[in-house]
């Protein structure tokens, strides 16, 4: 296990370094002059040149990359071009909002989706399985903006039950916060639940078709005991990967949902920064999202290695004697 963790950590560092290269190169390839866009079209050439010198844009690309990378490793994310405030401060203001949205959605969607997937797998071929498969497949194919728009039209415009804008005021109580979060959380829960439930049904169904499960059924072992005592334990690894990918999506891929509900999260901050060509903010958000993905996948791989004996055996066989 120690060797496995060291290998995964080294691989994670390598992946993040490659991502940093791609992020920096992508920002460099964007057309236009950042200093000119920041000052506006009426800025004088002297002011543009002064801002380029202040931001270090007149330095070679490789030198600017090294300065940015070393600063990021030391906790210095740079300074926003548009607001002239530290990027770390801007991120800190949005991280808690995104963590709240992702945390509440995960706490609701993961148990609900896994439970639904288990019920569908227990009744394979039955009415519940067929109906559930059609419903989750349809919801998985439905885009987030459509679900969010319909939720706003029904619950905010027609019924006036919840606000259309998810505004989180600093002094809001629990009820006000719950009302503001209801529509974005409901939208994300529908999307994430459908995806995880569909994958749970497929994973458990595949395990139940294995020889050990068929032999147990022939011996009269109830299906729920096979699932609870054997199949579910073996499915922890694949399910951990599915949950990790969906949680990472909640952190970085909810741009549409945050935009529709005007939710002040990290994804919307990155969208606004792209529109304003605020490259330090864009680069910081991209690296933060990539780090979340890498950490979650690392945790999922670790859980898979712990609970799946086949992976542990493979690690032992590859270890030189």
pTM above 0.95, yes or no: no
Q: By three-state DSSP, how is residue 169 classified?
A: coil
CB 277 within 8 A of CB 32: yes
Q: Each residue of 161-173: pLDDT tens digit?
A: 888 877 776 666 7
Please name the fold of domain 87-318: MetI-like fold (1.10.3720)
Q: Rounded CA gap, 98 and 89, in Å? A: 15
What's the pLDDT band for 18 if we cut at 50, 70, 90?
A: very high
Backbone φ and ψ for 7, nearest 5 degrees, come out as -65, -45
CB 3 within 8 A of CB 259: no
What's the angle, vertex CA 289, arms to CA 283 and CA 294, rounded to 5? 120
CB 240 within 8 A of CB 203: no
Q: Rounded CA gap, 253 and 76, in Å? A: 25
State the pLDDT at residue 171.
67
Beta bridge partners of 169: none
Q: Each residue of 112-170: pLDDT tens digit?
A: 988 888 888 877 777 877 888 888 888 888 888 888 888 888 888 888 888 887 777 66
Q: Rounded CA gap, 219 and 212, in Å? A: 11
Helix boundaries (H) for the chain: 2-29, 34-39, 45-55, 61-73, 87-122, 127-141, 144-151, 174-208, 211-218, 223-226, 232-234, 236-252, 255-260, 266-276, 279-307, 309-318
- Among residues 175, 191, 183, the alpha carbon closest in space to that of 154 is found at 183
CB 166 within 8 A of CB 155: no
Q: Each residue of 221-240: pLDDT tens digit?
A: 777 787 777 777 777 778 88
Domains of the chain by residue range: 2-73, 87-318
Share of the chain above pLDDT 90, in %: 1
* Residue 210 vs residue 114, higher pLDDT: 114
The residue count of the chain comes to 321
Nearby residues of 186 by Cβ (< 8 Å), 6 or more positions away = 151
**Mean pLDDT across the stretch 54-66?**
80
CB 238 within 8 A of CB 304: yes
Decide if pLDDT at 33 tops 80.
no
């Amino acid at each position: 296990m120690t060797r496995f963790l060291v290998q995964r950590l080294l691989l994670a560092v390598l992946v993040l370094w490659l991502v940093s290269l791609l992020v920096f190169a992508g920002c460099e390839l964007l057309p236009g002059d950042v200093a000119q866009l920041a000052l506006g079209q009426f800025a004088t050439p002297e002011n543009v040149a002064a801002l380029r010198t202040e931001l270090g844009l007149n330095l070679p690309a490789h030198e600017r990359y090294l300065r940015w990378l070393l600063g990021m490793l030391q906790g210095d994310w740079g300074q926003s071009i548009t607001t002239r405030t530290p990027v770390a401060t801007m991120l800190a203001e949005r991280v808690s909002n995104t963590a709240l949205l992702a945390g509440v959605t995960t706490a609701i969607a993961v148990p609900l989706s896994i439970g639904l997937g288990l019920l569908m797998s227990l009744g394979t071929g039955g009415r519940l399985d067929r109906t559930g498969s059609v419903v989750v497949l349809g919801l998985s194919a439905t885009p987030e903006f459509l679900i969010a728009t319909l939720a706003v039209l029904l619950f905010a415009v027609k019924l006036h039950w919840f606000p259309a804008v998810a505004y989180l005021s600093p002094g809001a109580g629990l009820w006000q916060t719950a009302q503001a979060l209801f529509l974005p959380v409901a939208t994300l829960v529908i999307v994430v639940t459908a995806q995880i439930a569909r994958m749970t049904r497929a994973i458990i169904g595949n395990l139940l078709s294995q020889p050990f499960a068929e032999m147990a059924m022939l011996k009269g072992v109830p299906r729920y005991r096979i699932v609870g005592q054997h199949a579910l334990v073996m499915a922890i690894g694949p399910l951990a990967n599915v949950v990790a990918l969906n949680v990472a999506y909640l952190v970085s891929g909810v741009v549409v949902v945050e935009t529709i509900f005007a939710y002040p999260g990290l994804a919307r901050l990155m969208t606004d920064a792209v529109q304003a060509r605020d490259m330090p903010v864009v680069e910081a958000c991209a690296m933060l999202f990539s780090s979340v993905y890498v950490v979650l996948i690392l945790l999922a791989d670790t859980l898979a290695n712990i609970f799946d004996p086949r992976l542990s055996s493979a690690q032992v066989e590859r270890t030189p004697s």
